[in-house]
């Protein structure tokens, strides 16, 4: 409650627009581009079962696009979130012989999706307003579809210099 004099001007109330709910985007990509893009329906979250399902879809997508990649071996990078480190996910990865690139729990800047892909998407979407979740999803998919190959190559190859910096800093945070 605010005490005011009767002749005080009326306090203006600003209409605050609620922010959109989070949209979870799963992207598997390499130096050539997006291999698999999946945007989860509102209210759905990533758990070990869903993650293994997406790994199955990724494997199928790779088999269609570049079957030789599966024969040569496959290295996957993700953080240490519970769905990825769950026994079910670990068993899936072992079954297909996929290697996981180690990840420092306190160093999210060593994941290209975090420092390159989603940061750029966030910049692209900044300042835009969407009427519906479908509009946001459509704009996001359109953005991914129009990225050139160099964008992905730079994101993957910058990982090497970030790893070197992290090693030189004994695992401390790496800034650009």
pLDDT tops 90 at residue 124:
yes
The answer to whether residue 81 is domain-embedded is yes
For residues 85-105, give the mean pLDDT: 87
Q: What is the pLDDT of residues 36-94, one digit of tens each?
A: 999 898 888 999 999 999 999 999 999 888 777 777 667 888 888 899 989 999 999 99
Predicted pLDDT at 15: 56
42: domain range?
A: 25-168
Beta strand residue intervals within 40-117, DSSP E: 75-76, 99-100
Kindly state whether residue 121 falls inside one of the protein's structural domains. Answer: yes
Is 2 a member of any domain? no
Dihedrals phi, psi of 161, to nearest 5 degrees = -70, -35
Task: Dihedral sign for Cα 5, 10, 15, 16, please.
Answer: negative
First to last CA, the chain: 47
Q: Would you state the structure tokens that stand for residue 85, as one six-digit string?
A: 């480190």
Count of domains for the chain: 1
Per the domain annotation, does 11 fall within a domain?
no
Residue 15 lies in a domain: no
Does residue 75 lie within any of the structural domains? yes
The pLDDT assigned to 132 comes to 87
SS3 label, residue 12: coil
> Would you state the structure tokens that stand for residue 148, as one six-digit string?
């050139």
Residues 6+ apart with CB under 8 A from 154: 116
Tokens found for residue 86: 């769950």
**Looking at residue 23, what is its pLDDT?**
81
Quote the mean pLDDT of the chain.
83
54 is a domain residue = yes
**Cut 0.85: pTM above it:** no
Tell me, what CATH number does 37's domain have?
3.30.420.10
Highest mean pLDDT among 17-26, 54-63, 103-112, 165-174: 54-63
The size of the chain, in residues, is 176
Residue 45 lies inside a defined structural domain of this protein: yes
């Amino acid at each position: 409650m605010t005490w005011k004099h009767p002749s005080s001007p009326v306090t203006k109330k600003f209409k605050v627009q609620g922010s959109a709910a989070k949209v979870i985007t799963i992207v598997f990509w390499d130096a050539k581009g997006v291999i698999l893009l999946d945007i989860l329906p509102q209210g759905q979250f990533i758990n070990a079962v869903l993650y293994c399902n997406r790994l199955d879809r990724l494997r199928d997508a790779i088999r269609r696009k570049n079957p030789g990649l599966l024969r040569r071996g496959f290295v996957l990078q993700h953080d240490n979130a519970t769905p990825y480190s769950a026994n079910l996910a670990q068993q899936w990865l072992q079954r297909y012989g996929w290697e996981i690139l180690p990840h420092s729990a306190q160093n999210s800047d060593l994941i290209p999706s975090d420092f390159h892909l989603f940061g750029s998407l966030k910049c692209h979407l900044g300042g835009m307003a969407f009427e519906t979740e479908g509009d946001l999803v459509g704009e996001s998919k359109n953005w991914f579809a129009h990225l050139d190959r160099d964008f992905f190559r730079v994101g993957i190859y910058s990982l090497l210099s970030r790893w070197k910096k992290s090693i030189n800093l004994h695992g401390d945070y790496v800034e650009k």
